[in-house]
Amino acid sequence: MKTQLDELRRLAAHAENRRTETGIPRVAMVQGKIPEHDLAALYEPMVNLILSGSKAMTVGARTLEYDPATYFVMSVDLPAAGVVRPAADGAPYLAVSLTLKPAIIAALLEDLPETGGEPSAGFAVAHTTPELMDAWVRMLRLMQHPADIPALAPAYEREILYRVLQGPHGRMLRDIATPDTALARVGQAIQHIKRDFAQPLRVGMLAKIAAMSPSAFHRHFKAVTALSPVQYQKRIRLLQARSLLLTGAHGVTAAAMQVGYESATQFSREYARAFGMPPARDAARIRTGGVSSGIVPRALP
């Protein structure tokens, strides 16, 4: 796979140290040292392939490490924190990602046989294969031939998804597009938490959305996200508050109230625990580092 990996590195060599769009729908890349605040974000369902260096992704108390020998799959929206490292030879971190679209997976499943098994979580790491790397090479080559993207990118996207579906975590990917699975129903509850994150959390209502008993819902939610529903909501609130603080239009107390906290003291304590320093200092540090627009970037590959 070394030849494929070398070509992928050449194709993605112009990526910047921020989310870099490729011109190919749902495909992005990033390169270099990434500010730590950019790596604490709400991550969308995706397949992430590292081309150089390594990354640690932490959700709740669970951390997964991966590098060019492996790829990462996330099947639901998850508030996560990442750490990237350069390669042993000093080459910068370099990665590409494909954001997952359930409708595309569902269409692909129509041509595939049913499989058994249960997903272990909403995120996992698996070993890369030559076939998966081949599909990524063809996808990234399209950056050199933009006119071919509308015709060929959908085929290469299907191939990447097919190779992941054939891998050890294919059931997890399959469940994204299968409405009555536990993962899909937890995903529906997650969308509700995301929309109403500032409102008091009602686990009973979330359980009804997921068509589960409260105890079963809590168990499945924790299995998929590595977080309890309350912990998930708290991380969404803190990420949103950070976004508000970066605009400079909200003080600490106003941001806390805006995202649903009743106590600014509790908010500051939990914010510092999550991001390593009190909210005002953290926001000032990020703005000093060059983030002046107040817009938190999309999660990075």
Q: What is the DSSP letter of 260?
A: T
**CA torsion, ordered 275, 277, 279, 280, to nearest 10 deg:** -140
Do the beta carbons of residue 299 and residue 44 sit within 8 Å?
yes
> Which residues, given as ranges, of the chain have pLDDT below 70?
115-120, 289-300
Give pLDDT tens digits for 3-17.
999 999 999 999 998
Q: What global pTM score does this model have? A: 0.90
Give pLDDT tens digits for 278-293.
999 998 888 776 543 3
pLDDT of residue 279: 95
HSE at residue 294, side-chain half, CA atoms within 13 A, is: 8
Residue type, 220: H
pLDDT of residue 291: 43
pLDDT of residue 250: 87
pLDDT of residue 255: 95
Closest CA to 37 of 230, 234, 246, 194: 246
pLDDT of residue 153: 98
Q: What are the two backbone dihedrals, phi and then psi, of residue 198, each rounded to the nearest 5 degrees?
A: -85, -10
pLDDT of residue 118: 56
